[in-house]
Amino acid sequence: MKFAHTTIAVAGTHSTGKSSFLKEVEARLNAHGLRVGRVVDTASRARDAGFPILRDHVYEGTLWIMAEGIRQEMEAALKSDVVLVDRPPLDALGYFLAALEATGREPNEVRREELKLIALAHQSRYHWFAATILDESVPIGPNRDDDEAFRRLAGETIGKLVQANVARSPRLTMTNAASLVNEVVQLTLQRHQLQRPQSASRSLQPK
């Protein structure tokens, strides 16, 4: 049985351009005939299932988000050449830790370590990984939580996790998004032994 050859992941707080970045990567790879699968909406699915999210994140909901993301990832890998992951397990861990800090809750050390072990163990599957940097001049997208303080804290917490645990990880911004799209596409095409793309990246807007 053959699974996806390349997996790309992007983490970061909400409304920092992750979805737009991955949509551009998807379009470019589709143009080269590659089958692209996506991992999306894990947090909103957790909310719809009844788990609290954002500053109310709890261990159970975080574990569910990680499991759902990994489930989507493995299912997409069955029928795709490339899988694009919007919010890997490390992202969920960052939101959980930020929620604990924001609400003054004391973490259960055993549970926190369990989540960290899951996130870091799965991190090794990614062939390219980036975390976004929050630009507070860019407004929060429509129908998104408008708690700017928590948005900032989540971004900082994810950034610290990435810095401490992920080697050679680029930081994605609206300024360098186009060049990083090119980097991801080139890497993927090389892995699939296809010609490097010549088309320029379209402009990106945060989602």
How does pLDDT run across 49-84, given as a tens digit for each residue? 999 999 999 999 999 999 999 999 999 999 999 999
Question: What is the Cα–Cα distance from 88 to 120, expressed in whole angstroms?
Answer: 10
Read off the pLDDT of residues 83-119 as tens digits, 9 standing for 90 and up: 999 999 999 999 999 999 999 999 999 999 999 999 9
CATH of the domain at 48: 3.40.50.300
pTM for this structure?
0.90
Domain annotation covers residue 169: yes
Query: Contact at 8 Å (CB) between 129 and 88?
Result: yes
Domain annotation covers residue 199: no
Domain annotation covers residue 200: no
Q: How many domains does the chain have?
A: 1
Question: What is the Cα–Cα distance from 182 to 115, expressed in whole angstroms?
Answer: 33
Read off the pLDDT of residues 122-162 as tens digits, 9 standing for 90 and up: 999 999 999 999 998 877 767 777 799 999 999 999 999 99
Strand partners, 128: 8
Provide the 3-class DSSP secondary structure of residue 7: strand
Closest among 179, 165, 7 to 91, alpha carbons compared:
165
